[in-house]
Structures are given as structure tokens and as C-alpha cells.
Amino acid sequence: MLGSLRSIVQEVNSARDLPAVLRIIVTRVKQTMTTDVCSVYLRNVKKEFVLMATDGLNVEAVGRVMLTKGQGLVGLVAAREEPVNLDQAETHPNFEYFPETGEERYSAFLGVPIIHQRKVMGVLVVQQVKGRTFDEGEEAFLVTMSAQLSGVIAHAEATGALVDIHSDAGPTEAKFMGVAGAPGVAIGRTVVAAPPADLRAVPYRRCDDIEQEVVFFLEALAQVRANVRLLGDELANRVNKEERQLFDAYVGMLDDASLGGEVMDRIRQNISAEYAWSEVILEHVTNFQSMSDPYLRERASDVQDLGGRVLAVLQQSNQKKIVFPENTILIGEELTASMLAEVPAGRLAGIVSVRGSSNSHVAILARSMGIPTVMGAVDLPFTKLDSREMIVDGYHGSVYSDPSRNLLLHYQDIVDEDLQVVRTLESLKDEPCETTDGHLIELWVNTGLAADAVLSLERGAEGVGLYRTEIPFMLRDRFPSEEEQRQVYREQLAAFFPHPVTMRTLDIGGDKALPYFPIEEENPFLGWRGIRVTLDHPEIFLVQVRAMLRASEGLDNLRILLPMISAIPELEIAQMLIMRAYEELVTEGRKITLPPIGVMIEVPSAVYQARELAARSDFLSVGSNDLTQYILAVDRNNTRVADLYRSFHPAVLRALKDVVDASHSQGKPISICGELAGDPTAALLLMAMGYDVLSMSATNLLKVKSVIRRVSLIDAHELMLEVLALPDTESVYATLDDAFKEVGLSRMLKPIVPINR
């Protein structure tokens, strides 16, 4: 049964739309369980369970039979959220007879709920004429099937609103949900950003000149054919006869009459060569994968490999350059910093990523750039949405493709209103960040791109609390040299002079990869990250520190920050290396001041050793993004657990407070540079806890300032004490919301930074 399970799931995964998904399920499950009926009921908007597909019951009943939760046996399965297995269904008190189904002949009934993200979306039923009890194995099979299919069904349902791209009917508005990534609303036209040679990420594009496209395609095919032949010849003496035959088989597959022929048929329907090729290859991959012969199943990866090679050639030789429209909405499966950087300055209006969540680094980057962003839009069929009109609602995490005129007008109003708020806040730029009772707190910014400096200074930033040096590293194709780094760092230090600039040493690993230094790990967030990487590579660390120190010559506004410190020796070794670089430079005759060296508190061990870390360093800075994920054991990048990532969880709040006390007990200043600092509500609590500096995306700075200027430290302190005593996140939200309403600040609660509240 395991084999059938896998092949059904594979077939379902490659089905084009919801009806096809359901058709495959009912026929294949009925066949595998050798039963008389298999049907799927799905919940509609009125919360009724509607018969959507059947193999065995009267097909006329599809779309007509509807049951509410608790009604009939199907409704009972939905209400109980567990299987119902009956050998004589008609004797059950819940049995309800629908004449249109022809159901009276079937006695045995097994129904299992289809549950996605805790919601019952439907019921999967098998029935049989002869009274019998489906055995435990069969029940387990159907439960497994349903659990595996629920995500696919949910995806197919969500994308079902989208008109078939191959049809001639015009596109219709469709809504997709994700998580809010960066605040704001963007209206624009999409461009799909895809990594090269990825068959599953090729955007659907049409071709205008069929003949030219066919020639272009055949040339690419011929090139790869020649390459594969060459490879076969080279290996001829080293491989056995069967393997040699495999090469010949590949060359054969690349024949115009084989895969090539199928692709050309699609090109003749005005589909681009890249898309047509990827579609054909993926269909063949699926066919191979669902074969029962393990040898043939293995061949799926060969076809995929071959497909990738041809695609790479097609993409390399494609001279049609991507045009980035005025208001580009960049969409893709997993966007990277370099993909954002490819969009010409001033054209990037919005971002939508299928993967990731609000604390992924792309989202952080987007916030610092002030680009409305939605992350984790898992159901977005991004490859089919190239060059379409789109609205990105970065406040609520929703995305609309081909929006109606009314929706456009509605969102245009929000864009205008936002612009108005920004203009109003601009007057605060040069005002101090001071409470009504005279307490001053500094608002600094987090940066990474050269462009961040302009926006930050326009917003009145008083320093840089976190300069993410990995960002300039990500935008290159090799490690930058000492001199290249010096220039980039100098620009940052000079732009903010005389304000302090806190430069964090290279923090890669986790979800931050350098294209030229891949780190492949089972569990990257608990792996080789941050300081662990650079201490293992002192040559990288020393070059970076030397570049920072040289860049600071004559400015003296540098502070160095060490990421992911989880033990005292890591700090000590890093300090020793920094001293070594400093002494080298002094010996070379440079006039450099030794900068303050600080520690990031972002893992629980550092919270518990904050006192010792503070005693041994010059300052602490809390990285609440990572600290939250490690305290709560919730991957900051995983959409599936995004709603468990709660920055206002009492455990997180208490850790934040303990760290302040530990740092101050050693007479050392402490700042916070996680995204939490940019949330106005959180900012009040953090100020009351005693943080000396809040460092945030420049986009949030004025809003935070405007809130702090309207409250007193005494009130904020009282609120903080009340909140710290609460047992759960919900009570924290409720208390904070009430407090904000009371002082007339609820308008400020419009999510300006998408912390999961």
C-alpha cells in the first residue's frame, strides 16, 4: 500500500487543477482499496460539506448533495474530526439517505476527515455494497492518504480561483494569503524572479514569433545533445555497456521526435520554449516517479537532470532581457538579497515570496528599504503570474492578482493615506525622542545596503545599531577583498559620522547563504552560524576586522558587534583576534582607535550568561529575532509555524527584561536591534525595561518616536510591570491594546512592523 500511497500523492501533486486532483483521488483510492465507492466532500463557504467527486455513486449527485457539520455520516466525521468506520451504515442513527446518490446499495462506510491547519476542509469516504468492517490497516491507509492530500487540496482550492492560464478567458481577481512581511501597500506589475535552471520556477511566458522560438529551442537541444554525446565518448572506456547505453538513451530523448516534438507542439500554441520545456520534462519526471519498478523510478532524476541542462542553455542564450516596469512587484519561490538588488533603483514597489516568514532576512531587508512585502504566500502559483497586475498588502499579508477596479480604488486610498501619515511624521525628524516626563531614549537604525543611509538620515536616525555586513557579501560572487570591504564600510561610517555605527561581523548560516560559500546542513539554524563560522575561519574574520578598523581611521565612530555568541570563550577568542588586527594596523603606522566591542544576545545561553558577557565586553545588543526563535523553538523562517513565533510571549518578554538588568548591573549599556524594537507597542515596553537604545528599520523610526513622545515613562513602566506578570501572549496583547486605546493611540497599532500579534 505504501507504493500506491506514494504514487497517488505524486499524481495528485502534478494535477493541473482541483477537479483533476479530486478525480485522481477517488479513482485511485477506490482501486487501491478494492472497494465499490470513493467520494470526496469539501467544505464550501457556507460551511456545508458538498459532494465534489465520486467514483461509484451517481455522478449526477456531484455538487448537489450537501450536509452540514453533524448532519448524516459525513457531517458526523466532520464534527468528530476522526474516522467513522461502520459495517452496517444504514443502522446508524446519523444515517441520512440521499436518493440522488444511489447510496442505498452500500452498507459498509469508512469516512475520514481532511484536515488542514486544524480546519476540517472535507471528508474522504469509501463505501462497499457488502457489509464489512474496513480493517485497521485500511483505516490507517485512508487517514494517511487524507493527511497527505489535505495540503494539496488546500493549495488547489486556493489557486482554483485563478483562471486557467491556457484558456482564452480574461484573468479574474484572485486573493492569496501569506504573512505580513513589510508594512505598506504596493500596486504594480509582477516580475517572476527565478533561480537559473530550476524547472519548477520557470515563469509562464508567451512567445510572439513561433518560428523563431522553435529555431531557438532546436539550437539549445542540439547543443545539449552534442555535450551529452561528448560526455558519453569521454567516459566510453570507463563505464560498462549498460551505462554507455544510458547515454545513448539520453541522446535519443533529446531527439526532435521525442521530448523535442512534445515541446514544439506547445511552442506552436504560443508558449515560450523555456516554459514548454519545463512543463514537458516535469510531466515525464512525474510519470517516472510513479512507476512501480524501482529502476525506472530512479530514471526520474536522470530526466530531471537532463531537463535542467537544456533549460540552463535556453536561459543563457535567451537574449530577451527582463524588463522591470516602473512599479515592479517581485515574486518568486524564495527571493534573495541579490534578486532584490537586480531590480533597478527606484523600480521595486513590492515583494511577494512563497517561502519564508516575517523574520526571514529578505523581509528584514524589505523593511529596511520600506518595500511592502508578503512572505509565505504558499499557495501563490507564482510561475503563472508573470507580468500581471498585483496588489501587495503588507499590513495584512494578502496579495491580489488581476484586481478589480473597485479593489484598486480601495487600495489606492490606503496608499494615499499612508503617504499623508509619513508626511505628518516627517516634522518629528529633528525632535528628540523624549517622553512627556523628560526621559530620553535614542532611536538608531538597522542598515545593510548603501541606500539605507539616505532614508535613515532623512528620518533623523541618531546612530546605527546594526549594520549587517553580510549583505554586501551576499551581493558578490566571491568574498570581497580587504580593500573592497574597507571602501564599503567607510561609506557607511562617513555617511553617519559623527553618529556611532555598529558593524556586526559576518553573520552567515541559518537562512543567510553566500552563493560562493554554500553551507549545507540538516538543521542550519542550530548549526554553523555567525561567530561559529568566522572563528573557524580566522582568515575571513581578520580581513573583515582589519577592513572595519581601517575604514574607521580618522572618524572613530565604529563599534564592533559579535553575532550568535553562545559561550564566553567565543567572545574571548574574537576579542583576541580583534586585538591582533588592531595591533597589526598600529604597527603598520595607522592611527586607529580601538572600538568598543559588543556581544549580541540572541540565544538562551547568552541570556543566562548576560552578566558575565557584559562584564567582559563594552556593550550588549539583543537580537530579538533569533532570541525569540530559540526561546520558543520556532523556526523564524518557517511559514507553517509562523503564528507560534510570538515576540510578546511572556517568556521572551521576561528574558528581555533580565538581560537589561544583567547588563546594567555591570555598568554596561544595552540596546536592542531585533525587529521588535520597531513596533511602537514593544518600543514602549522596551524603553520601560531600561534599554538605552532601540535600533530598527528606518521605516519605523518616526512612528516609534511619535508614540514615545506622547507617553510618560511612569505610565510605560507601570504597563511594563503589569504585562510582565501576565501568563500568556493573548493577555499581553489584550492589556497592551487596552492601554493604547486609553491614551488614544490605537491608530498607531496599525501593524507597522509585522510582528505576529
Candidates 138-146, 291-299, 621-629, 658-666; binding stretch for ligand PEP (CB under 6 A):
621-629
Under the binding rule (CB under 6 A), the answer on residue 624 touching ligand PEP is yes
- For residues 284 and 636, which CB has a smaller minimum distance to ligand PEP in the complex? 636
- For residues 355 and 361, which CB has a smaller minimum distance to Mg ion in the complex? 361
Could you give the CA distance from residue 270 to residue 248 in angstroms, rounded to a whole number? 31
Could you give the CA distance from residue 344 to residue 324 in angstroms, rounded to a whole number? 7
- For residues 43 and 559, which CB has a smaller minimum distance to Mg ion in the complex? 559
> Shortest Cβ distance from residue 625 to Mg ion (Å)?
5
Q: What are phi and psi of 117, to 5 degrees?
A: 45, 55
Q: Choose the contact partner of 468 out of ligand PEP, Mg ion, none; CB within 5 to 8 A by kind.
A: ligand PEP
Q: Cβ(342)–Cβ(323) under 8 Å?
A: no
Pairing outcome for strands 442-447 and 464-468: parallel
Candidates 325-333, 388-396, 412-420, 617-625; binding stretch for ligand PEP (CB under 6 A):
617-625
Could you give the CA distance from residue 32 to residue 14 in angstroms, rounded to a whole number? 19
Under the binding rule (CB under 6 A), the answer on residue 626 touching ligand PEP is yes
Candidates 51-59, 229-237, 594-602, 692-700; binding stretch for Mg ion (CB under 5 A):
594-602
> Shortest Cβ distance from residue 754 to Mg ion (Å)?
17
Positive or negative, the CA dihedral 303, 304, 308, 314 is positive
- For residues 67 and 627, which CB has a smaller minimum distance to ligand PEP in the complex? 627
In sequence order, the 6+-apart residues with CB closer than 8 A to the CB of 234 are: none
Q: Choose the contact partner of 128 out of Mg ion, ligand PEP, none; CB within 5 to 8 A by kind.
A: none
> Shortest Cβ distance from residue 724 to Mg ion (Å)?
24
Under the binding rule (CB under 6 A), the answer on residue 557 touching ligand PEP is no
Could you give the CA distance from residue 682 to residue 716 in angstroms, rounded to a whole number? 11
Query: Crossing angle, helix 18-32 and helix 2-13, to 10 degrees?
Result: 170
Instruction: Please select the residue that binds ligand PEP; options are 300, 466, 475, 571, rule is CB under 6 A.
Output: 466
Q: Describe the strand order of the beta sheet including 49-55 as a list of residue ranges.
A: 66-67, 49-55, 37-43, 119-128, 108-116, 84-86
Q: Please give the size of the binding site for ligand PEP, defined by CB under 6 A.
A: 11
Could you give the CA distance from residue 237 to residue 504 in angstroms, rounded to a whole number? 54
Candidates 326-334, 376-384, 546-554, 624-632; binding stretch for ligand PEP (CB under 6 A):
624-632
Under the binding rule (CB under 5 A), the answer on residue 470 touching Mg ion is no
Under the binding rule (CB under 6 A), the answer on residue 674 touching ligand PEP is yes
Under the binding rule (CB under 6 A), the answer on residue 460 touching ligand PEP is no
Candidates 13-21, 110-118, 479-487, 619-627; binding stretch for ligand PEP (CB under 6 A):
619-627
> Shortest Cβ distance from residue 364 to ligand PEP (Å)?
6
Could you give the CA distance from residue 60 to residue 519 in angstroms, rounded to a whole number? 56
Under the binding rule (CB under 5 A), the answer on residue 83 touching Mg ion is no
Q: Choose the contact partner of 364 out of ligand PEP, Mg ion, none; CB within 5 to 8 A by kind.
A: ligand PEP
Burial of 413 (0-12, 13-18, 19+ CB in 10 A): exposed
> Shortest Cβ distance from residue 621 to ligand PEP (Å)?
8
Under the binding rule (CB under 6 A), the answer on residue 386 touching ligand PEP is no
> Shortest Cβ distance from residue 687 to ligand PEP (Å)?
18
Residue whose beta carbon is closest to ligand PEP: 623
**3-class DSSP state for residue 200?**
helix
Pairing outcome for strands 398-401 and 389-393: antiparallel
Under the binding rule (CB under 5 A), the answer on residue 184 touching Mg ion is no
Under the binding rule (CB under 6 A), the answer on residue 673 touching ligand PEP is yes
Q: Choose the contact partner of 558 out of Mg ion, ligand PEP, none; CB within 5 to 8 A by kind.
A: none
> Shortest Cβ distance from residue 448 to ligand PEP (Å)?
9
Residue 84 parent element (H or E): strand 84-86
Contacts 24+ apart (CB under 8 A), 480-486: 481/543, 482/543, 482/546, 482/547, 482/550, 483/547, 485/543, 485/544, 485/547, 485/548, 485/551, 486/547, 486/550, 486/551
Instruction: Please select the residue that binds Mg ion; options are 595, 598, 623, 678, rule is CB under 5 A.
Output: 623
Q: Please give the size of the binding site for Mg ion, defined by CB under 5 A.
A: 3
- Report, as residue numbers or ranges, the catalytic residues: 361, 673
Instruction: Please select the residue that binds Mg ion; options are 274, 626, 635, 675, rule is CB under 5 A.
Output: 626
Binding map of ligand PEP across residues 479-518, x = CB under 6 A, - = no contact: ----------------------------x-----------
Would you tell me how many other CB atoms lie within 10 Å of the CB of residue 519? 15
> Shortest Cβ distance from residue 127 to ligand PEP (Å)?
53
Under the binding rule (CB under 6 A), the answer on residue 602 touching ligand PEP is yes
Could you give the CA distance from residue 345 to residue 324 in angstroms, rounded to a whole number? 10
Under the binding rule (CB under 6 A), the answer on residue 625 touching ligand PEP is yes
Q: DSSP secondary structure string, 284-340?
A: HHHHHHT-SSHHHHHHHHHHHHHHHHHHHHHHHH---PPP--TTEEEEESS--HHHH
DSSP code of 750?
S
> Shortest Cβ distance from residue 528 to Mg ion (Å)?
14
**3-class DSSP state for residue 48?**
coil
Under the binding rule (CB under 6 A), the answer on residue 364 touching ligand PEP is yes
Q: Report H helices in 99-164.
A: 136-160
DSSP code of 640?
G
Binding map of ligand PEP across residues 568-597, x = CB under 6 A, - = no contact: ------------------------------
Cross-strand pairs, 332? 353
Candidates 22-30, 466-474, 620-628, 647-655; binding stretch for Mg ion (CB under 5 A):
620-628
- For residues 146 and 446, which CB has a smaller minimum distance to ligand PEP in the complex? 446
> Shortest Cβ distance from residue 41 to ligand PEP (Å)?
44
Identify the residue whose cell numbers are 518557517: 638
Could you give the CA distance from residue 8 to residue 5 in angstroms, rounded to a whole number? 5
Strand intervals (E) in 469-567:
501-504, 558-562
- For residues 300 and 613, which CB has a smaller minimum distance to Mg ion in the complex? 613
Half-sphere exposure of 478 (CA within 13 A, CB side): 3
Instruction: Please select the residue that binds ligand PEP; options are 75, 113, 598, 623, rule is CB under 6 A.
Output: 623
Could you give the CA distance from residue 170 to residue 168 in angstroms, rounded to a whole number? 6
Pairing outcome for strands 108-116 and 119-128: antiparallel
Could you give the CA distance from residue 251 to residue 505 in angstroms, rounded to a whole number? 50
Chain positions contacting Mg ion, by CB under 5 A: 602, 623, 626
Chain positions contacting ligand PEP, by CB under 6 A: 364, 466, 468, 507, 602, 623-626, 673-674
